Amino acid sequence: MNQQFTLLKKAIEVFHSYGITLIGSQKNADFIQQLHMDPVFINGLIFELEYQLQVIFQEEKLGMVHTPKDLIALLVNIPQEN
């Protein structure tokens, strides 16, 4: 549980570096439509999360990610041995 908290804390820092706060409606905002992020920056965010947290997201599941909340949920559900 403590490891997961540390993971989430680092993830929040990465989101903040991209100007995304995970409080209120922004956590449910669509990356492209509401946060006005270019797909290149979305890929950069995903890369930065993978790099900082030392995890690998499955490509198939990334296609279903449209909001910061979706990305955090995907992160939480990654097996810990990954």
Would residue 72 count as lying in a domain?
yes
Calpha distance 38→30 (Å, rounded): 12
CA-to-CA distance for 81 and 20, rounded, in angstroms?
28
**pLDDT at 49 > cutoff 70:** yes
81 within some domain: no
Q: Look at 80 and 62; give whichever has higher pLDDT.
A: 62
Residue 19, domain member (yes or no): yes
Query: Is the distance from CB of 69 to CB of 28 less than 8 angstroms?
Result: yes
The domain spanning residue 19 has which CATH number? Answer: 1.10.1200.10
Q: What is the pLDDT of residue 82?
A: 43
- Domain count across the chain: 1
Q: Report if residue 82 sits inside a domain.
A: no
CA atoms within 13 A of residue 3's CA, in its CB half-sphere? 9
Q: What's residue 33's pLDDT?
A: 96
**Does 1 or 35 have the greater pLDDT score?**
35
Residues 4-45: pLDDT tens digits? 888 999 999 999 999 999 988 899 999 999 999 999 999 999
Q: Which residue range(s) make up the domain with 48? A: 2-76
Classify residue 38: in a domain, yes or no.
Answer: yes
